[in-house]
Amino acid sequence: QGPLEELARAGALPAGETWRVLDLGAGLGTTTLGLAELAQRAGVKKLEVTAVEQDAASLDVFATLAREAHAVGLVPEVKLEARREDLEDLDLARLPKADLVVLGLALNELYRDREDADRLDAREATLRALLGRLRPGGSLVVVEPATRELSRELQTLRDRLVERVFAPCLRDGPCPLLTRERDWCHAQLPFDLPEGLAERAESAGLRRQRLTYAYLTLRTDGRRLWDVFDGSPRAHRVVGGPVRSKGKTEWDLCSAEGLVRIRRLDRERSDASAVLDTAERGTLLTLDRDVEDGRDLRIRPDVGVDGS
């Protein structure tokens, strides 16, 4: 729910007691159901969902989960229109307009048999077409796996669509993480799997205590998450770290000015920078001073760092 929480923080979630949702590559409905849980907390009474998925069994599970989650009060009523279709064959212009268009782990499945340049062009065209399906004030949220390859492809699409980007960026310029092949932008959330699933995750070489993902939130009205910070260059997002070594911890930050590395010695931890204790990739921070692109900043006890 990270991208949706950011929309909520900016006052950019849909208004009204009914939200219209378009879920493409819906699968079992996990993206919409996560959205629905936030909608429940926001006082929404009903979701009108058009779910596009080529697997009929998945759509059946989606309908069952939505019905049962509503029955126990976890989500609002979900009025589901299930469409069994292949996204690549879909006429996007004929889809209903929505307050929220979501693609959860679906964009990377499109046009995979094409060459790199053609694939990116096709995915860009898809996103632009989906922007055309937004109702006024609506948002398009794309969530992808946090692999380097897929995250960097999403960053490239971000640069092509920069005039429509709400988040994750706090800058208008090109993505600075694309300049080095080893870098990629993704976020992580603390998350504890149930014990049975945790054991399976560990046996598969997966993390059991955090979720990682890459995302892009697009809008057509010019609103940006950066506006919450009044466009300040002191607003930063953690894009690397924490990297802990003997006696210190380091983080890489991205802002309007570019990339900055901050470093805090263990002996210099203070209440002014306590928020760094839990700062991970994706965390939003505000520093109490300006830092130029490419510079390092030592977080001494008098340096103030605020969290989101």
Residue-wise pLDDT tens digits, 113-128: 999 999 999 999 999 9
User: In the predicted model, is pLDDT for residue 209 greater than 70?
Assistant: no
- Quote the pLDDT of residue 208: 61
* pTM for this model (two decimals): 0.95
| Residue 178 sits in the same domain as residue 128 | yes
CATH value at residue 272 = 2.40.50.1010
The verdict on residue 226 lying in a domain is no
CATH value at residue 176 = 3.40.50.150
User: In the predicted model, is pLDDT for residue 194 greater than 80?
Assistant: no
Q: Which residue has the tokens 């910070």?
A: 229
Can you tell me whether residue 218 is helix, strand or coil?
strand
| Residue 154 sits in the same domain as residue 246 | no
| Residue 142 sits in the same domain as residue 210 | yes
Domain end among 221, 240, 258? 221
Give the pLDDT band of residue 298 (cuts 50, 70, 90). very high
- Quote the pLDDT of residue 207: 64
| Residue 113 sits in the same domain as residue 16 | yes
- Report how far residue 259's alpha carbon sits from residue 299's, in angstroms, rounded to the nearest whole number: 16
Domain span holding position 254: 231-307
- Quote the pLDDT of residue 202: 77
How many domains, in total, are found in the chain? Answer: 2
Token pair listed for 55: 């697997």
Give residues with Cβ within 8 angstroms of 107, minimum separation 6: 25, 123, 126, 127, 142, 144, 154
Contact 155, 145 (CB under 8 A): no
| Residue 52 sits in the same domain as residue 144 | yes
| Residue 267 sits in the same domain as residue 173 | no
- Quote the pLDDT of residue 275: 98
The percentage of residues in the chain with a pLDDT greater than 70, rounded to a whole number, is: 97
- Report how far residue 178's alpha carbon sits from residue 69's, in angstroms, rounded to the nearest whole number: 41
pLDDT tens sequence across 223-238 = 999 999 999 999 999 9
Average pLDDT on 53-78 reads: 98
How confident is the prediction for the chain on average, in pLDDT? Answer: 95
Buried (b) or exposed (e) across 124-162, using 16+ Cβ within 10 A?
eebbeebbebbbeebbbbbbbebeeebbbbbbbbbeebe
Give the pLDDT band of residue 49 (cuts 50, 70, 90). very high
| Residue 107 sits in the same domain as residue 199 | yes
Give the pLDDT band of residue 63 (cuts 50, 70, 90). very high
User: In the predicted model, is pLDDT for residue 191 greater than 90?
Assistant: no
User: In the predicted model, is pLDDT for residue 308 greater than 70?
Assistant: no
Give residues with Cβ within 8 angstroms of 44, minimum separation 6: 16, 17, 18, 19, 76
The verdict on residue 213 lying in a domain is yes
| Residue 183 sits in the same domain as residue 301 | no
